[in-house]
Amino acid sequence: MSLLITNARIASATSPTLTETDVFLSDGIIRKIGKGLTVPDGTRVIDACGRILLPGMFDAHVHLREPGFEAKETIATGAEAAINGGITGLVMMPNTKPAIDSATVVGQVLDIAKRTARIPVYTSGCVTKDRHGKEMAGIDGMRALGVRMLTDDGDTTGDPAVLMRAMQYATEFGMFFASHCEVPELAGPRALNEGAMSYRLGIKGSPACAEEIIIDRDIRLAHATGAHIHIQHVSSKLGMETIRWWKQRGDVRVTAEVAPHHLLFSDEDIGDYDTHYKMNPPLRTRADNEALLQGLIDGTFDLIATDHAPHTPFEKSQDFVSAPNGITGLDTALVSLHHYFVASGKFGWDLIVKRFSAEPRRLMGLPAVSIEEGQPVDLILFDPDKETTFSKEFMKSKSQNTPFLDQTLKGSVELVVLGESVLLDRA
C-alpha cells in the first residue's frame, strides 16, 4: 500500500504547534515527510486540508468481557469499537469469567485476540486468584506470556498483606500494579456519589473517602516495597491531590489515569435516575470535574483511559440501584475530548497525543508512536470541523451504554492506518 496524505497538520506530544506538511506512507513505513514529495505512480492521494494527523491512541483500561460475558462485548467487537474511535492498541482488564489469573487463561485470551482483533490487544492479569483478594494468582506464568500489569480491577485487592507480598514478588520481574481504589464497606451500593444528589434521589451514596483511603493505602504499600503503582480512574479532587502529594515526595513510583467521563459529567447529570450515568467510581461534583481537568493539564495524571465497560440494554434498563456500573468509551472518547476541551481551547492536541497515545504505551513498556520518517505507520486522520452522531448504527461496540447515544459532537475520526492496513476509511 502506498498513500500520500497532503496538507495534513501533524500533532505531536512535544509541541502545541501543528505543522502542515505532506506525508508519504509505503509498505507500513513513513517514508517521507515534506512539501512537494515525489511518489510512485499509483499512489493514493488524500488531501487532508484542515485535518489533523495524529499517532494512534492507546487505551490502557478496557473491559472486553470475553471470556464469560460475550453478550456485552467480545474481543473482536471491542477492537472494532476502538478502531472506530481512533484507538490502535488497548489493554484488557481481567474481570472476565474465568478471571484472567493464570497462564492458561492469558494464553486463551491472547489467542482469541490474535485471531479476531485487527489491532494489538494486551491483557492485564489478576493480583489474586479469581480476584477474591485472598491468595496470589499465578503471577510468574502470566509474566512468561508477556503480562506486565497486575490488577484486581472491578474490585480492590482486599487484603493489604496479600497485595504487599505480591508487590515484593512481582516487582523483581518488572511488573507493576494497577489499583481500583475502594473500601467496599464504605462504598455501599456504589450507585452514585454521596451528596446533595444522592439525598434528592433517595439513594444511599458512595462517599469519595471510600476511594481516597485506598489510593493512599496502595501508594504506601508501593512505597514500602519499591513497587510501581498505577491508580485507576480517579474521580475526586482529594484523591487527585493525594497522588500529587506522593509524586512531589519523589520516593515512590506512582502513575495515575483519569477517564473522560470523570472530566465531563457530574452527579447532577443523573437527572431522573438515568443509568447511563451510573459507574464506579461514581460521578462526583462539578468541583471535582474542574480539579481533575487541572490535574490532567498539570501532569498529575499521566494518562487518559476510558474504563470502557459495556453492558446490555436489558441490564442498564433496570432501576438505578440494581443496574450495573459502567459506561462505554472506545467509540466516543477522542471525539468527546475534542468537542469539550480541544475545540474550546482548554488544552491542545499535544496533551491528547501525550496522555492518550504516548504515555499509555510507555506504561506498558511499549515505544511511543510518532509521525516521523522511518517510523512504523500507526496514525489517524481527524477532522475537527465535521460532526459525529453516535447512533447505534455508527458505534461498533456490542453495547451502547453511554450518555452520548444519539448525541452529535464536533469532530470525526476519518482514517485509521496501522502498518500496511487501512483499518477505517471515511476520508
Contact partners, residue 167, CB within 8 Å, separation at least 6: 177, 221, 222, 225, 226, 227
> Which helix (H) or strand (E) covers residue 275, if one does?
none
Asked if residue 378 and residue 279 are part of one domain, the reply reads no
Residue 405 in domain: no
Contact partners, residue 100, CB within 8 Å, separation at least 6: 92, 94, 106, 109, 123, 124, 125, 126, 142
Asked if residue 232 and residue 90 are part of one domain, the reply reads yes
The pLDDT of residue 188: 82
How far is residue 385's CA from residue 306's CA, in Å, rounded to a whole number?
Answer: 24
Closest CA to 329 of 346, 305, 298, 302: 305
Asked if residue 99 and residue 16 are part of one domain, the reply reads no
The pLDDT of residue 189: 77
Asked if residue 386 and residue 353 are part of one domain, the reply reads no
Asked if residue 275 and residue 192 are part of one domain, the reply reads yes
Residue 189 in domain: yes
How far is residue 87's CA from residue 379's CA, in Å, rounded to a whole number?
Answer: 9
- 198-224, pLDDT tens digit by residue? 999 999 999 999 999 999 999 999 999
C-alpha cell at 390: 453516535
Average pLDDT, the chain: 97
Number of domains, the chain: 2
The pLDDT of residue 304: 98
Are the CB atoms for 259 and 328 separated by under 8 Å?
Answer: no
The pLDDT of residue 251: 97
C-alpha cell at 26: 509505503
**Residue 401: DSSP 8-state:** -
How far is residue 112's CA from residue 233's CA, in Å, rounded to a whole number?
Answer: 27
Closest CA to 182 of 239, 221, 132: 239
Closest CA to 167 of 228, 91, 81, 96: 228
Residue 132 in domain: yes
Asked if residue 211 and residue 126 are part of one domain, the reply reads yes
CATH assignment at residue 337: 3.20.20.140
Asked if residue 388 and residue 300 are part of one domain, the reply reads no
Asked if residue 107 and residue 191 are part of one domain, the reply reads yes
Backbone angles phi, psi at 314, to 5 degrees: -60, -45
Q: Given 101, 153, 307, 331, which residue is catalytic?
A: 307
HSE-CB of 212 using CA atoms within 13 angstroms: 15
Question: Cβ-count burial of 313 within 10 angstroms (0-12 exposed, 13-18 middle, 19+ buried)?
Answer: exposed
Cis, peptide link before residue 67, omega less than 30° from 0: yes
Residue 403 in domain: no
The pLDDT of residue 190: 76
The radius of gyration computed from the CA coordinates of the chain, to the nearest angstrom, equals 21
> Which helix (H) or strand (E) covers residue 75, if one does?
helix 75-84
Asked if residue 70 and residue 45 are part of one domain, the reply reads no
Closest CA to 359 of 55, 153, 78: 55
Asked if residue 93 and residue 45 are part of one domain, the reply reads no
Which structural domain range is residue 15 located in? 2-53+373-397+410-425
CB atoms within 10 A of CB 232: 21
Asked if residue 107 and residue 7 are part of one domain, the reply reads no
Question: Cβ-count burial of 94 within 10 angstroms (0-12 exposed, 13-18 middle, 19+ buried)?
Answer: buried
- Tens-digit pLDDT string for the chain (427 aa): 899 999 999 999 999 989 899 999 999 999 999 998 999 999 999 999 999 999 999 999 999 999 999 999 999 999 999 999 999 999 999 999 999 999 999 999 999 999 999 999 999 999 999 999 999 999 999 999 999 999 999 999 999 999 999 999 999 999 999 999 999 999 987 789 999 999 999 999 999 999 999 999 999 999 999 999 999 999 999 999 999 999 999 999 999 999 999 999 999 999 989 999 999 999 999 999 999 999 999 999 999 999 999 999 999 999 999 999 999 999 999 999 999 999 999 999 999 999 999 999 999 999 999 999 999 999 999 999 999 999 999 999 999 999 999 999 999 999 999 999 999 999 9
Residue 38 in domain: yes
CATH assignment at residue 18: 2.30.40.10
- Cα four-point dihedral sign 207, 236, 249, 366: positive
C-alpha cell at 85: 474511535
Strands 303-304 and 253-258: parallel
Question: What is the number of helices (H) and of strands (E) in the chain?
Answer: 14, 16
**Residue 193: DSSP 8-state:** B
What is the DSSP secondary-structure string of 105-155? HHHHHHHHHHHH-SS-EEE-B-SBGGG-SSSB--HHHHHHTT--EE--TTS
Asked if residue 32 and residue 60 are part of one domain, the reply reads no
For helices 209-225 and 237-249, the axis angle rounded to 10 degrees is 20
CB atoms within 10 A of CB 350: 16
Residue 242 in domain: yes
CA distances from 106 to 72, 307, 369, 426 (A): 20, 20, 26, 35
Residue 404 in domain: no
Residue 402 in domain: no
Q: Which ranges of 189-236 would DSSP assign to H, the alpha helix?
A: 196-201, 209-225
How far is residue 22's CA from residue 3's CA, in Å, rounded to a whole number?
Answer: 10
307 annotated active-site? yes
HSE-CB of 151 using CA atoms within 13 angstroms: 29
